[in-house]
Structure 1
């Protein structure tokens, strides 16, 4: 099935009507570019110029929807106009058809029409001058250039500017889209970072509170309950302090709300001592040199989260924490006794392993966690940045 012809643009209809009325007015006033005595006037009828005028005007509604068809029909009408007394309006309308064919036509038409009209301009000037042996024959080429080459060149220039503007608009849209994607990714990454920090800073305090509150509720021993409540209070205060610092950073990140310095591996001893106070048998085996700050923070948080999980899930027995520096990486390993089927001593969110895996991935490292032969093992390889001291 053939596609229906698109509706002509309203401006093109006005051009057609205006051109037709203007040509009829000039014909009624007897204004013609050629006298009836001219040798090229083969069609002497007084109404003859109206025929190519009407055909050319009828082609104007096609200047946007079918520009090549309009140009071909208009060219035939212009040839017919040359054997009559002619109409200036017909020539003007034809130049507009040439311009529109280049501007609104296919890319192939936009390339070929200026080249063809240029060749016709050269031939129209050189051939008559050579045949007639009269330099005035060059005026024919000038006329062809004015009628065909000039509007074709103008159409090509306008089209190039229009295409350049469209390309610039598309580039601007793509740039805006990429900027929005970057912004979304940055927001997502920042939210994930805040979630990891919030989980790692507060989870161990809340786990200790849950475990000791369970002990206080289940044991009818005033002394034990008092010790448990003391631990609960200490962890509550510490957890609130951490929350207050993090909220302060999110609000303005300045002044007295600025969080304290990031934890370092030198603080693992104090961290282990805190978990020992909760009843966890933590044993440290650290052997490392100076490491970059991002690696140091990631290793500290991985050990902290591993001990928190051990506090909630591990069976009775020692929890071994080992760090060593080897092959351009810092290796972290935390093992704890594990008995399948044991119920956790405190509820968990399930985000701890995900956070540790993300921390290792952000540094280009690896992370593994799983149970084997009654031991739960957490292993992480954290590459050291190039140029940092080892």
Structure 2
């Protein structure tokens, strides 16, 4: 089954038509390359001039799709043209075929065309000098250079510029793609940071509100209802203040809200007092250096805050103990709470708190473990976190 030839490029069709019309115009006015009495002419008459002209114009249709085939046929057509009176347009179209062969052929073929035309120019010059031994013989080399080597060299230069422009375009696209990936990762990281902060800052107060509002609705006791409403109001006010501080962080350039400083371990006492006010029996034991890296202090504060929130929502009756110890270049955090169903109302949980604690720990290169354990006092829920205080490969845990 024959393979159809590729469709010529529209620009090649225009070049072929323009060359053919130009050659016919010169032929019509009787303008040839050689006179009718030139001894090199073997095919006399005006009509033979049209044969290489038409063939060369047909080769122009192949200049992009089959450049090497077009050049080979063009060489044969130019050879025939040399034994006729000749047509200048035929020679001009041949130079375009040489240029196209270097520009559109595969790299190896383009290099071969460049080398062959260069060798032809040198050999033509030397043979002409050796044969005629006259300075005018150099004109043969000049003609060969103009017809063959010059368009080949021009095509090679244009090809190099084109390849360099394509490489620059690919590099620009790759840079843009990497920039977009970095932007997407930065947005994702910022969204995760905001989600962690929003959860850690507000979940504790909302959990207390949910538990005490459920108690107020389920118990027909004015004193209990009054106490629950007091706790609800206190947590609502504190939660609103936390939310405003979070908005201040996000809009620190608005002029109406000041960004808040990141919480530190010095605020654990107030955090525990708030948990006790919400009805949680909490014991806190800390032993650490006076000054720790800010990322470590923030991560430790948020982890303890989330542990107390989870204990308020899910822990059984009993005491919750939180311990912080600094040993051998790391800060160890342990939060132990009774494991089991509460007698009173519970607040729903989504598991986002454990995910947030694990993310904060991973950002600092620490270790995180959470799950039920057996102890002398029964089954407990234990959270163990280790945060290095000297090496932070991932930067700020927020």
**TM bucket, shorter chain:** over 0.9
CA distance in 2, matches of 1:132, 1:7: 47
Task: Specify the alignment match of 2:16 in structure 1.
Answer: 16
Q: Contact (CA 8 Å) 2:314, 2:341: kept in 1 or not?
A: no
Task: Specify the alignment match of 2:221 in structure 1.
Answer: 221
Q: Taking structure 1 as reference, are residues 344 and 233 closer, same or farther at Cα in structure 2, changes over 3 Å only? A: closer
Q: Contact (CA 8 Å) 1:32, 1:86: kept in 2 or not?
A: yes
Does 2:306 correspond to 1:305? yes
Task: Specify the alignment match of 2:87 in structure 1.
Answer: 87
Q: Which sits farther off after the overlay, 259-268 or 38-47?
A: 38-47
Q: Which sits farther off after the overlay, 151-160 or 171-180?
A: 171-180
Q: Provide Cα deviations, 1:240-299, integer angstroms capped at 9, x if missing partner.
A: 111122234334544341232111101111111111122222111211112110110001
Q: Which sits farther off after the overlay, 168-177 or 191-200?
A: 168-177
Task: Specify the alignment match of 1:41 in structure 2.
Answer: 41
- 1:342 deviates by 8.0
Report the 3-state secondary structure (helix = DSSP H, G, I; strand = E; otherwise coil) of the residue aligned with 2:385: strand
CA distance in 2, matches of 1:353, 1:242: 21
Does 2:237 correspond to 1:237? yes
Q: CA RMSD in A?
A: 1.9
- 1:72 deviates by 0.6
Does 2:199 correspond to 1:199? yes
Q: Taking structure 1 as reference, are residues 250 and 36 closer, same or farther at Cα in structure 2, changes over 3 Å only? A: same
- 1:363 deviates by 1.3
Q: Taking structure 1 as reference, are residues 342 and 232 closer, same or farther at Cα in structure 2, changes over 3 Å only? A: closer
Does 2:339 correspond to 1:334? no
* Aligned residue runs from structure 1 range 358-369, under 5 A: 358-369=359-370
Which of 359, 381, 384 aligns to 1:379? It is 384
- 1:386 deviates by 4.5
CA distance in 1, matches of 2:260, 2:52: 89
Q: Which sits farther off after the overlay, 59-68 or 211-220?
A: 211-220
Q: Provide Cα deviations, 1:154-213, integer angstroms capped at 9, x if missing partner.
A: 111111111111222222222222212211111111111111111001111011111212
Task: Specify the alignment match of 1:168 in structure 2.
Answer: 168
CA distance in 1, matches of 2:367, 2:253: 31
CA distance in 1, matches of 2:138, 2:40: 18
Task: Specify the alignment match of 2:351 in structure 1.
Answer: 350
- 1:344 deviates by 6.9
* Aligned residue runs from structure 1 range 260-275, under 5 A: 260-275=260-275
CA distance in 1, matches of 2:354, 2:390: 24
Q: Contact (CA 8 Å) 1:208, 1:235: kept in 2 or not?
A: yes
Q: Provide Cα deviations, 1:303-330, integer angstroms capped at 9, x if missing partner.
A: 0000110111111222111111223221
- 1:5 deviates by 2.2
Unaligned runs of 5+ in 1: none
Report the 3-state secondary structure (helix = DSSP H, G, I; strand = E; otherwise coil) of the residue aligned with 1:38: coil
Aligned pairs, number: 387
Report the 3-state secondary structure (helix = DSSP H, G, I; strand = E; otherwise coil) of the residue aligned with 1:49: helix
Task: Specify the alignment match of 2:122 in structure 1.
Answer: 122
Report the 3-state secondary structure (helix = DSSP H, G, I; strand = E; otherwise coil) of the residue aligned with 2:231: helix
- 1:3 deviates by 4.7
Unaligned runs of 5+ in 2: 393-398
TM-score (structure 1 length as normaliser): 0.94
Q: Taking structure 1 as reference, are residues 344 and 319 closer, same or farther at Cα in structure 2, changes over 3 Å only? A: same
Task: Specify the alignment match of 2:144 in structure 1.
Answer: 144
Report the 3-state secondary structure (helix = DSSP H, G, I; strand = E; otherwise coil) of the residue aligned with 2:35: coil
- 1:377 deviates by 0.8
Q: Provide Cα deviations, 1:98-128, integer angstroms capped at 9, x if missing partner.
A: 1111112222222221111111111110122
Q: Contact (CA 8 Å) 1:203, 1:308: kept in 2 or not?
A: yes
CA distance in 2, matches of 1:61, 1:382: 73
Q: Contact (CA 8 Å) 2:248, 2:260: kept in 1 or not?
A: no
CA distance in 1, matches of 2:43, 2:135: 28
Q: Contact (CA 8 Å) 2:317, 2:342: kept in 1 or not?
A: no
Report the 3-state secondary structure (helix = DSSP H, G, I; strand = E; otherwise coil) of the residue aligned with 2:386: strand
Task: Specify the alignment match of 2:287 in structure 1.
Answer: 287
